[in-house]
Amino acid sequence: MSRYQAGDLAAARSLIELVSPNLHRYLAAQSANRGDADDLLQEVWLRIHRVRHTYQPRKPLLPWVYAIAHRVRVDHYRRAVRTRVREQRWEELRESASSFEAEGAHPSELQELLAPLSQSEREVLQMMKISGMSLEEVARATECSVGSVKQKVHRAYGKLRRTMSLVGAKRQPGVFS
């Protein structure tokens, strides 16, 4: 590892060949499938490469490597959970939208109202108003701060008010002249 830290690529290859089989077994034992274990192994080596300067040569190597592997596995699990939560939320949004359409609303009118919103404003607004999520839940789901979510919602409301007044003006000429 000391030679790898010094930039010796042959030492890096040797280290990878020596440690990877056991590391892969460790990751495979805790993964859903072999593909995940392969991806995690690659991520472990990428992370080791990025933080190789933090290894202290007088300390044992394997605990350091396995600590990194553990963090990669935990990060992967958290990312998977966030993805599942977002997918569930979007499924709920689709169901809500389907019921909205079933009640006779015109999707083209809704699309016209939402057109000026950015993707993030639209997403935050849909999570809060269609799914009924709290500010904190939306912040966690979008990985933003609560303040950022509030700002996006505030901007979205402003844009919606302007759009609605323009749509109203189109329907009633002369009212907003």
pLDDT digit of tens for each residue in the chain (177 aa)? 999 999 999 999 999 999 999 999 988 887 777 888 999 999 999 999 999 999 999 999 999 999 999 999 888 888 887 777 666 655 665 565 555 455 554 556 666 777 788 888 888 887 787 777 788 888 887 788 989 989 998 888 888 888 777 755 555 554 443
Question: Do the domain assignments include residue 90?
Answer: no
- The verdict on 13 and 58 lying in the same domain is yes
Instruction: Answer whether residue 97 is part of any domain.
Output: no
Question: Do residue 12 and residue 66 come from a single domain?
Answer: yes
* Cα–Cα dist 52/7, whole Å: 10
Domain span at 129 = 106-177
Q: For residue 86, what are the CA distances in angstroms to 9, 14, 95, 104?
A: 41, 41, 14, 27
Q: Is 117 in contact with 125 (CB distance < 8 Å)?
A: yes
